[in-house]
C-alpha cells in the first residue's frame, strides 16, 4: 500500500525525479515491516511453538474459583433447583456432594429437604387460591326482617323482640 499517489504528488508541483525518489523511499519503509504472505503461517507456527504460557490454568486458584462460580450459576438455573426458594439456592448448592461416587442430585435434594424444609417451596398448599387472614368467617347474609337498631345488635331490650 503506497503512502502517496503519483497524481497527488504531480498536483503539488514535484518533478518526475522527485516523485520517483519519494515512491522508492516510501516503498522501502513499508517493506521493512511487512512479511510475505507465503511465509506468514511459518512465522505464526514458530511463535506458537516458542510461546510458553505464563499461567498454568489447571492449578491457578483464581481461575478455578471463577470456574466454580460459573458451574454454580449454571446449576442454580437448572431444573434440579426449581423447587428451592431463590434465596436458599446457593446454600443448597454448597450442601450437595459432587464427587465421582456421589448420589444423584435428586436423591441428595430429597435428604436436604427433610432437614431444611424451609429452603424448599412446599409442593402442596392446602389453602391455595383462597386468601386467609385469620379466623374462619362466620355469619350470613343480612335478613330484611331483622331490625338493625342498637338494641337488636347488642341484645338490649325485651327478650323476645330481636
d(CA 52, CA 50): 6
Q: What is the pLDDT of residue 67?
A: 93
pLDDT for the residue 22:
87
User: In which band, very low, low, confident or very high, does the pLDDT at 28 lie, cut at 50, 70 and 90?
Assistant: confident
Quote the CA–CA distance of 129 and 136 in Å, as a whole number: 16
Phi and psi at 84, nearest 5°, equal: -100, 140
pLDDT score for 93: 92
Q: pLDDT tens-digit profile of 110-153?
A: 899 999 989 998 876 556 666 667 777 677 777 777 667 777 77
Q: 14 and 22 in contact (C-beta within 8 Å)? A: yes
Q: What is the pLDDT of residues 59-105, one digit of tens each?
A: 888 999 999 999 999 988 888 888 899 999 999 999 999 888 889 98
pLDDT for the residue 29? 79
pLDDT at position 160? 55
The model's confidence at residue 55, banded by pLDDT at 50, 70 and 90, is: confident
Helix (H) or strand (E) holding 89: helix 89-95
Grid coordinates representing 142 are 343480612
62: three-class secondary structure by DSSP? helix
Between 1-5, 37-41, 124-128, 139-143, the lowest mean confidence (pLDDT) is in 124-128
Q: Which residues contact 109 (CB under 8 A, 6 or more apart)?
A: 80, 83, 84, 92, 96
CB neighbours (10 Å) of residue 13?
A: 7
pLDDT of residue 130: 67
**Do residues 119 and 153 make contact, with C-beta atoms less than 8 angstroms apart?**
no
- d(C-alpha 86, C-alpha 93), whole Å: 11
- Which pLDDT belongs to residue 43? 86
Q: Where are the domains of the chain?
A: 6-50, 61-119
Output the pLDDT for position 71: 92
Q: Is the pLDDT of residue 161 over 60?
A: no
Amino acid at each position: 500500500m503506497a503512502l502517496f499517489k503519483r497524481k497527488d504528488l504531480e498536483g503539488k508541483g514535484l518533478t518526475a525525479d522527485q516523485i520517483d525518489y519519494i515512491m522508492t523511499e516510501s516503498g522501502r519503509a513499508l517493506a521493512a515491516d511487512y512479511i510475505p504472505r507465503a511465509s506468514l503461517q511459518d512465522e505464526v507456527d514458530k511463535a506458537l511453538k516458542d510461546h510458553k504460557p505464563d499461567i498454568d490454568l489447571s492449578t491457578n486458584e483464581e481461575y478455578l474459583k471463577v470456574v466454580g462460580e460459573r458451574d454454580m450459576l449454571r446449576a442454580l438455573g437448572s431444573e434440579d433447583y426449581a423447587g428451592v426458594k431463590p434465596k436458599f439456592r446457593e446454600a443448597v448448592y454448597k450442601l450437595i456432594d459432587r464427587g465421582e461416587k456421589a448420589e444423584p442430585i435428586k436423591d441428595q435434594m430429597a435428604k436436604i429437604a427433610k432437614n431444611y424444609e424451609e429452603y424448599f417451596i412446599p409442593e402442596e398448599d392446602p389453602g391455595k387460591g383462597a386468601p386467609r387472614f385469620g379466623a374462619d368467617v362466620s355469619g350470613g347474609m343480612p335478613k330484611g326482617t331483622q331490625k338493625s337498631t342498637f338494641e337488636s345488635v347488642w341484645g338490649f331490650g325485651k327478650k323476645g323482640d330481636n
